[in-house]
Structure 1
Amino acid sequence: MRPSGGDSTFTGSVPQLYERYMVPLMFEPYADDLAARVVRRQPARVLEVAAGTGALTRRLARDLPGGVPIVATDLNPPMLDQAAAVGTSRPVEWRQADALSLPFPDEAFDVIVCQFGVMFFPDKARAFAEARRVLRPGGHLLFNVWDRIEHNDFAATVQGAMEAVFPDDPPRFMARVPHGYHDPAVIARDLAASGFEQAPAVTTLTVRGRAASPRVPAVALCQGTPLRGEIEARDASRLDEVTDAATAAITRRFGPSTVEGKLQAHILSVEW
């Protein structure tokens, strides 16, 4: 859950909280899925866009043959710094880059992959056009996006808590951005506008997210994503109060100990 641009909300402790809480709660099962899809295509050179703290990068480094170069990019240097600090099982090339203006020559990769990043691109058709430009003929663009918020239990519950705490002006980051690009028909139109001639293949994948306590998803979403910036923009002194309210809402819905909630996303693949 990260924007393409250099965003101040991904500074300070946010990258560490994102890696500690968001990755195991929500991203790891989808990283395994995307990595397996990449491996099946037997690529010669892979580009990852909007790599964040490297959840997918680590799976690619583990599962792809050692001779397959992996370039992992993100526009937020603090996120890449956290990814590099965690490390990978073999060397990858970490590179700061904007998905809307990739610093690579034409036809440089045969697979481009993006985990939960395209929702944040300010010009999605332009980002897809850049991916198409650096793909070799016959190459594949693979990416996933979250389904609508009501199909994702923790995000929906935290959104409800935001509306209770800030009834006049609730932060709506969760519904607006990570869960705001969920319609495969809209995505297909953006891909077509970017020059992809084939319709994307779409798969919907539902998994269960688990955490040791209700506090974990509350901290993950309230303090480890750009939702934090929207909370602090309303009243920075209330971040802990809002996190407590989210914890209470998750407790009411899922219980006071180990929690488990539905996650749902679409996986899209398109060939160039």
Structure 2
Amino acid sequence: MSAGDKIFAGSIPENYDRYMVPLIFESYARDMAQRAAALSPKAVLEMAAGSGVVTRALAPMLSPDARYVVTDLNQPMLDYAATRQEQDDRLTWRQADAQALPFEDAAFDLVCCQFGVMFFPDRPSAYREARRVLKPGGTFLFNAWDRIEENVFADDVTNALAEFFPDDPPRFMARTPHGYHDTALIRSDLAKAGFSNVTIETKAEESRAPSPHQVAVAYCQGTPLRNEIESRGADKLEAATEHAASAIARKHGSGEVAAKIQAQVIMAWT
């Protein structure tokens, strides 16, 4: 993972929430919220909350006396997430590094994280922190994208950009969001952190968008892939986006488009 892979700043948070969230994140957020709410937690910590799609889904499902702490490493994403959330006294927003959580031991019943662990430089360290702040019997719930070939639009965009930048193809999507799909590695990292009771479920969903252009904008301008494209020339963003849109249209048609997405859903217990 490069340093730029973690930068969600400028217009990325808004574009991420406007385009990426409905494209690939909302269905998994509903799934995570349902799994979390079924545990009836009274104290919840969310790591790497991004633009708050899980927060918006889970908060209404929690009991009136629950406590919900929402964190992210990127302050711009956290600030944006707070603007999208209705006023709720149960929620606390806090910038935090998942590898050095600023919370006491055994403070939470549930730690959840939607598609954030792929960005952690030292995942066993982050998992140890999750275990540390969980109460005995607590649950660590997270998910991670499966291999890029199982996530069709991400693969399409990556291949299109390899055509557009043949000498130096941007590989953010394959390198980071889809770079942590090996279930044996996930189990090993959790074991290093002290989690021995682990379940992993592979879950497929369908990604939909009203047009190929919206898919291209989502990936090329709503993720740190934008940073990679602009590093190859500030004037390249729109042309690269249009090239990706054309590639998707050739494969999927020019109207509403749909394709498979797939992720691993992991639950670990203390």
Normalized against structure 1, the TM-score is what?
0.96
Aligned-pair CA distance for 1:242: 0.3
Q: Spell out, residue by residue over 1:112-163, the C-alpha distance to the aligned partner (whole angstroms, 9 max, x if none).
A: 0000000000000000000000000100000000000000011000011111
Matched letter for residue 190 of structure 1: D
User: How many Å separate the matches in 2 of 1:157 and 1:173?
Assistant: 13
SS of structure 2 residue aligned to 1:130: helix
Aligned-pair CA distance for 1:88: 3.3
Aligned length: 268
User: How many Å separate the matches in 2 of 1:119 and 1:29?
Assistant: 19
Shift >4 Å, 4+ stretches: 5-8
The question of whether the paired residues in 1 share the 8 Å contact of 2:42 and 2:63 is answered with no
User: How many Å separate the matches in 2 of 1:175 and 1:232?
Assistant: 18
Q: Spell out, residue by residue over 1:198-231, the C-alpha distance to the aligned partner (whole angstroms, 9 max, x if none).
A: 2x20111111111111111100100110111111
In structure 1, the partner of 2:86 is: 88
Does the alignment pair 1:194 with 2:193? yes
In structure 2, the partner of 1:116 is: 115
In structure 2, the partner of 1:127 is: 126
Structure 1 alignment gaps of length 5 or more: none
Does the alignment pair 1:235 with 2:233? yes
User: How many Å separate the matches in 1 of 2:11 and 2:115?
Assistant: 21
Identity %: 54
SS of structure 2 residue aligned to 1:10: coil
Matched letter for residue 218 of structure 2: A
SS of structure 1 residue aligned to 2:168: coil
User: How many Å separate the matches in 1 of 2:17 and 2:106?
Assistant: 32
Does the alignment pair 1:208 with 2:199? no
**C-alpha RMSD of matched pairs (Å):** 1.5
In structure 1, the partner of 2:216 is: 218
Matched letter for residue 221 of structure 2: Q
SS of structure 1 residue aligned to 2:41: coil
Q: Spell out, residue by residue over 1:154-199, the C-alpha distance to the aligned partner (whole angstroms, 9 max, x if none).
A: 100001111101111101000010000001110000001112132x
The question of whether the paired residues in 1 share the 8 Å contact of 2:145 and 2:264 is answered with yes
The question of whether the paired residues in 2 share the 8 Å contact of 1:62 and 1:89 is answered with no
User: How many Å separate the matches in 2 of 1:74 and 1:7?
Assistant: 15
Q: Spell out, residue by residue over 1:13-65, the C-alpha distance to the aligned partner (whole angstroms, 9 max, x if none).
A: 11000010011111000000001111111111000000001000011112112
User: How many Å separate the matches in 2 of 1:202 and 1:151?
Assistant: 17
Q: Using a 3 Å threshold, how does the CA distance of structure 1 residues 259 and 54 change in structure 2: closer, same or farther?
A: same
Q: Spell out, residue by residue over 1:52-89, the C-alpha distance to the aligned partner (whole angstroms, 9 max, x if none).
A: 01000011112112221111100101001110111136
Structure 2 alignment gaps of length 5 or more: none
The question of whether the paired residues in 1 share the 8 Å contact of 2:5 and 2:172 is answered with no
The question of whether the paired residues in 2 share the 8 Å contact of 1:208 and 1:263 is answered with yes
User: How many Å separate the matches in 2 of 1:253 and 1:112?
Assistant: 39
